[in-house]
Protein backbone atom coordinates (compact mmCIF):
# COMPACT_ATOMS: atom_id res chain seq x y z
CA UNK A 1 0.00 0.00 0.00
CA UNK A 2 2.35 2.72 -1.25
CA UNK A 3 -0.45 5.24 -1.53
CA UNK A 4 1.88 8.16 -0.90
CA UNK A 5 3.22 7.57 -4.43
CA UNK A 6 -0.18 8.18 -6.01
CA UNK A 7 -1.12 11.76 -6.68
CA UNK A 8 -2.49 13.88 -9.49
CA UNK A 9 -0.13 15.46 -12.02
CA UNK A 10 -0.20 19.18 -12.70
CA UNK A 11 -1.31 20.23 -16.21
CA UNK A 12 1.09 22.79 -17.62
CA UNK A 13 -0.43 23.08 -21.09
CA UNK A 14 -3.42 21.67 -23.00
CA UNK A 15 -3.86 22.07 -26.75
CA UNK A 16 -6.34 20.69 -29.28
CA UNK A 17 -4.31 18.88 -31.93
CA UNK A 18 -7.07 17.37 -34.05
CA UNK A 19 -10.78 18.11 -34.43
CA UNK A 20 -12.76 15.08 -35.56
CA UNK A 21 -16.48 14.49 -35.89
CA UNK A 22 -17.17 12.39 -32.81
CA UNK A 23 -14.18 13.47 -30.74
CA UNK A 24 -11.14 15.73 -30.73
CA UNK A 25 -7.57 14.96 -29.70
CA UNK A 26 -5.80 17.21 -27.23
CA UNK A 27 -2.22 17.07 -26.11
CA UNK A 28 -1.54 17.78 -22.44
CA UNK A 29 1.87 18.60 -21.03
CA UNK A 30 2.01 17.40 -17.43
CA UNK A 31 4.43 17.83 -14.57
CA UNK A 32 5.17 14.61 -12.69
CA UNK A 33 5.49 14.64 -8.89
CA UNK A 34 9.29 14.56 -9.27
CA UNK A 35 9.24 17.70 -11.43
CA UNK A 36 9.84 16.03 -14.80
CA UNK A 37 7.52 16.84 -17.68
CA UNK A 38 5.60 14.39 -19.86
CA UNK A 39 3.16 14.67 -22.76
CA UNK A 40 -0.15 12.78 -23.15
CA UNK A 41 -2.46 12.50 -26.16
CA UNK A 42 -6.04 12.46 -24.95
CA UNK A 43 -9.31 11.83 -26.78
CA UNK A 44 -11.69 14.60 -25.75
CA UNK A 45 -15.06 12.84 -25.72
CA UNK A 46 -18.44 14.29 -24.67
CA UNK A 47 -19.48 11.16 -22.73
CA UNK A 48 -22.08 8.53 -23.55
CA UNK A 49 -24.76 6.23 -22.23
CA UNK A 50 -25.27 2.48 -22.38
CA UNK A 51 -28.83 1.24 -22.05
CA UNK A 52 -29.81 -2.21 -20.81
CA UNK A 53 -33.40 -2.66 -22.03
CA UNK A 54 -35.11 -5.58 -20.28
CA UNK A 55 -38.57 -6.82 -21.26
CA UNK A 56 -41.22 -8.19 -18.91
CA UNK A 57 -39.94 -11.75 -19.46
CA UNK A 58 -36.45 -10.72 -18.30
CA UNK A 59 -34.82 -10.72 -21.74
CA UNK A 60 -32.17 -8.13 -22.61
CA UNK A 61 -32.19 -6.26 -25.92
CA UNK A 62 -28.86 -6.32 -27.75
CA UNK A 63 -28.08 -4.82 -31.13
CA UNK A 64 -25.92 -6.19 -33.91
CA UNK A 65 -24.08 -3.70 -36.12
CA UNK A 66 -20.95 -3.19 -38.19
CA UNK A 67 -18.24 -1.25 -36.38
CA UNK A 68 -15.79 0.41 -38.76
CA UNK A 69 -13.11 0.85 -36.07
CA UNK A 70 -12.99 -2.94 -35.59
CA UNK A 71 -13.79 -4.21 -39.07
CA UNK A 72 -16.30 -6.58 -37.46
CA UNK A 73 -20.03 -6.94 -36.93
CA UNK A 74 -20.54 -6.91 -33.15
CA UNK A 75 -23.32 -7.76 -30.73
CA UNK A 76 -23.59 -4.97 -28.14
CA UNK A 77 -25.85 -3.28 -25.65
CA UNK A 78 -27.49 -0.19 -27.17
CA UNK A 79 -25.51 3.00 -26.57
CA UNK A 80 -25.12 6.54 -27.78
CA UNK A 81 -23.05 9.66 -27.39
CA UNK A 82 -24.26 12.59 -25.32
CA UNK A 83 -25.14 15.75 -27.16
CA UNK A 84 -23.83 18.99 -25.71
CA UNK A 85 -25.25 19.56 -22.19
CA UNK A 86 -27.62 16.62 -22.64
CA UNK A 87 -28.93 14.85 -19.56
CA UNK A 88 -27.71 11.23 -19.67
CA UNK A 89 -31.16 9.77 -18.98
CA UNK A 90 -32.69 11.82 -21.81
CA UNK A 91 -29.96 10.50 -24.09
CA UNK A 92 -30.78 6.95 -22.92
CA UNK A 93 -34.47 7.51 -23.68
CA UNK A 94 -33.66 8.70 -27.20
CA UNK A 95 -31.09 6.04 -28.05
CA UNK A 96 -33.19 3.09 -26.90
CA UNK A 97 -35.93 4.21 -29.30
CA UNK A 98 -33.53 4.82 -32.18
CA UNK A 99 -31.65 1.57 -31.80
CA UNK A 100 -34.27 -0.93 -30.61
CA UNK A 101 -37.59 0.67 -31.62
CA UNK A 102 -38.75 0.38 -28.00
CA UNK A 103 -39.33 3.08 -25.42
CA UNK A 104 -39.12 2.59 -21.64
CA UNK A 105 -41.41 3.89 -18.88
CA UNK A 106 -38.75 3.28 -16.23
CA UNK A 107 -35.02 4.00 -16.10
CA UNK A 108 -32.75 2.93 -13.24
CA UNK A 109 -29.23 4.31 -13.12
CA UNK A 110 -26.78 1.45 -12.55
CA UNK A 111 -23.60 3.52 -12.42
CA UNK A 112 -20.95 5.08 -14.64
CA UNK A 113 -17.35 4.39 -15.60
CA UNK A 114 -14.42 5.59 -17.67
CA UNK A 115 -14.45 3.46 -20.81
CA UNK A 116 -10.79 3.77 -21.80
CA UNK A 117 -9.04 5.81 -19.08
CA UNK A 118 -5.62 5.30 -20.64
CA UNK A 119 -6.37 7.80 -23.39
CA UNK A 120 -10.05 8.81 -23.52
CA UNK A 121 -12.15 11.19 -21.45
CA UNK A 122 -15.28 9.18 -22.31
CA UNK A 123 -17.42 8.81 -19.19
CA UNK A 124 -20.12 6.24 -19.78
CA UNK A 125 -23.42 6.13 -17.85
CA UNK A 126 -25.41 2.87 -17.53
CA UNK A 127 -29.21 2.68 -17.33
CA UNK A 128 -31.49 -0.31 -16.85
CA UNK A 129 -34.61 0.38 -18.94
CA UNK A 130 -37.83 -1.49 -18.15
CA UNK A 131 -41.60 -1.33 -18.74
CA UNK A 132 -40.92 -1.27 -22.47
CA UNK A 133 -43.39 -0.51 -25.26
CA UNK A 134 -43.06 -0.19 -29.02
CA UNK A 135 -42.19 3.34 -30.13
CA UNK A 136 -39.71 3.46 -32.98
CA UNK A 137 -37.75 6.66 -33.60
CA UNK A 138 -35.93 7.24 -36.88
CA UNK A 139 -32.36 6.08 -36.39
CA UNK A 140 -29.28 7.94 -37.51
CA UNK A 141 -28.85 7.60 -41.24
CA UNK A 142 -25.85 5.34 -41.03
CA UNK A 143 -27.17 2.84 -38.51
CA UNK A 144 -27.73 -0.55 -40.07
CA UNK A 145 -28.59 -2.55 -37.02
CA UNK A 146 -30.64 -5.54 -35.94
CA UNK A 147 -32.10 -6.30 -32.53
CA UNK A 148 -31.58 -9.59 -30.66
CA UNK A 149 -33.01 -10.55 -27.28
CA UNK A 150 -31.03 -12.68 -24.81
CA UNK A 151 -31.65 -13.98 -21.31
CA UNK A 152 -29.14 -12.76 -18.70
CA UNK A 153 -27.41 -16.11 -18.28
CA UNK A 154 -27.29 -16.61 -22.04
CA UNK A 155 -25.65 -13.19 -22.48
CA UNK A 156 -23.07 -13.88 -19.75
CA UNK A 157 -22.25 -17.27 -21.30
CA UNK A 158 -21.81 -15.59 -24.71
CA UNK A 159 -19.53 -12.97 -23.16
CA UNK A 160 -17.37 -15.68 -21.59
CA UNK A 161 -17.29 -17.53 -24.92
CA UNK A 162 -16.19 -14.40 -26.84
CA UNK A 163 -19.46 -14.15 -28.77
CA UNK A 164 -20.18 -10.83 -27.10
CA UNK A 165 -16.88 -8.97 -27.06
CA UNK A 166 -17.46 -5.32 -26.49
CA UNK A 167 -16.13 -3.60 -23.37
CA UNK A 168 -19.27 -1.71 -22.30
CA UNK A 169 -21.49 -4.76 -22.81
CA UNK A 170 -19.42 -6.92 -20.45
CA UNK A 171 -19.24 -4.09 -17.92
CA UNK A 172 -23.02 -3.61 -18.22
CA UNK A 173 -23.66 -7.29 -17.56
CA UNK A 174 -21.58 -7.06 -14.38
CA UNK A 175 -23.55 -4.00 -13.23
CA UNK A 176 -26.83 -5.76 -14.05
CA UNK A 177 -26.04 -8.72 -11.79
CA UNK A 178 -28.65 -8.95 -9.06
CA UNK A 179 -31.16 -6.62 -10.74
CA UNK A 180 -33.13 -9.27 -12.62
CA UNK A 181 -35.31 -11.86 -10.90
CA UNK A 182 -33.23 -15.05 -10.88
Contacting a copy of itself within 88-107 (CB under 8 A): none
Span from 24-32, 53-61, 85-93, 130-138 in contact with a copy of itself (CB under 8 A): 24-32
> Shortest gap between Cβ of 147 and a copy of itself (angstroms)?
7
Question: Contact, 75 vs 164, CB < 8 A?
Answer: yes
Span from 53-61, 65-73, 82-90, 130-138 in contact with a copy of itself (CB under 8 A): 65-73
Q: Is residue 57 at the binding interface for a copy of itself, with CB under 8 A as the rule?
A: no
SS3 47: coil
Please, which residue, 36 or 105, has the CB nearer to a copy of itself?
36
- Please list every residue from 101 through 140 that binds a copy of itself, using CB under 8 A: 111-124
> Shortest gap between Cβ of 54 and a copy of itself (angstroms)?
17
Q: Is residue 71 at the binding interface for a copy of itself, with CB under 8 A as the rule?
A: yes
Among 108, 137, 147, 180, binds a copy of itself (CB under 8 A): 147
Per-position DSSP letters for 94-133, written without gaps between them: HHHHHHHSEEEEEEEEEEEEES-TTTB--EEEEEEEEEEE
Please, which residue, 67 or 105, has the CB nearer to a copy of itself?
67
What are the φ and ψ backbone dihedral angles of 169, each rounded to 5 degrees?
A: -70, -40
Instruction: Give the separation between CA 40 and CA 30, rounded to whole angstroms.
Output: 8
Among 108, 137, 151, 156, binds a copy of itself (CB under 8 A): 156
Please, which residue, 56 or 141, has the CB nearer to a copy of itself?
141
SS3 137: coil
Please, which residue, 102 or 175, has the CB nearer to a copy of itself?
175
Q: Which distant-in-sequence residues (6+ apart) come within 8 Å of 48 by Cβ?
A: 79, 80, 81, 82, 91, 115, 122, 123, 124, 125
Span from 16-24, 53-61, 84-92, 127-135 in contact with a copy of itself (CB under 8 A): 16-24
With residue 72 as reference, give the H or E element that holds it.
strand 72-76
Amino acid sequence: MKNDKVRKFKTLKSEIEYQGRAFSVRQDTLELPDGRKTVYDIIDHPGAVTIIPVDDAGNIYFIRQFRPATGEILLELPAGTLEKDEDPQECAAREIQEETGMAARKFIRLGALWLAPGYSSEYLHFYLATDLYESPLQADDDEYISVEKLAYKQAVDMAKAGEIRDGKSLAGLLLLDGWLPN
